[in-house]
Amino acid sequence: MANGKFLNTLLNTINNIQQENQANPNEETADPSVFDLLRGKVQELDERNRNKQVARGEEPVSVLDLIRNGIEHVKDRNSADPNVKTAPEAIYDRIKQRIDERPQRRAGKGLKRIIKEYNLDVSRLSPQALEQIQSKYLNDHKRLNQQYAQAINQLIQSNR
């Protein structure tokens, strides 16, 4: 992944969500094997990334997107397995939400920098308007990063 710290944070997130799930009497307790699958998928993606097996395709994919796809894979595998009770949807949602917090914090910081740099008075904007702007900023930033990743990938392919 990006670094060992992010991997540890993600694995800790999965562990914390498992503990929260087990402690919550209002939520159905998921089978422990679901969390083992999630941890295994994250470690598999980390291993593939360290071995440079992730971004060799036509279009590069961000590590966060790979993780989200991996979570969806585990979710699909869990619902298809007749021997393991399907985990509540909320578990997968909480993991994805925590994964998305990092880019959202970055987007918030980027917007604050823009507001400060251009001396913008946003005091009259509603929190919802600021959230919409942050969401657009995040999507635009993701799209721009994807374009650069594709351009770099094309250069790599042409230099082989």
The domain total for the chain is 1
What are the counts of helices (DSSP H) followed by strands (DSSP E) for the chain?
A: 5, 0
- Angle between helical axes of 63-80 and 32-50 (0-180°, round to 10): 150
The b/e string for 146-157 (b: 16+ C-beta within 10 A; e otherwise) is eeeeeeebeeee
Quote the tokens at residue 38: 């999630």
The residue segments making up the domain with residue 151 are: 4-158
pLDDT one-digit tens code per residue, 13-42:
999 999 999 999 999 999 999 999 999 999
pLDDT one-digit tens code per residue, 35-73:
999 999 998 888 877 776 554 556 778 888 888 999 999
**Mean pLDDT over the full length of the chain:** 89
- The Cα–Cα gap between 45 and 42 comes to 5
Quote the tokens at residue 84: 């393991």
pLDDT of residue 3: 59
- The Cα–Cα gap between 35 and 15 comes to 8
DSSP E strand stretches across the chain = none
- The Cα–Cα gap between 118 and 101 comes to 26
Model confidence at 138: pLDDT above 60: yes
Amino acid identity, position 20: E
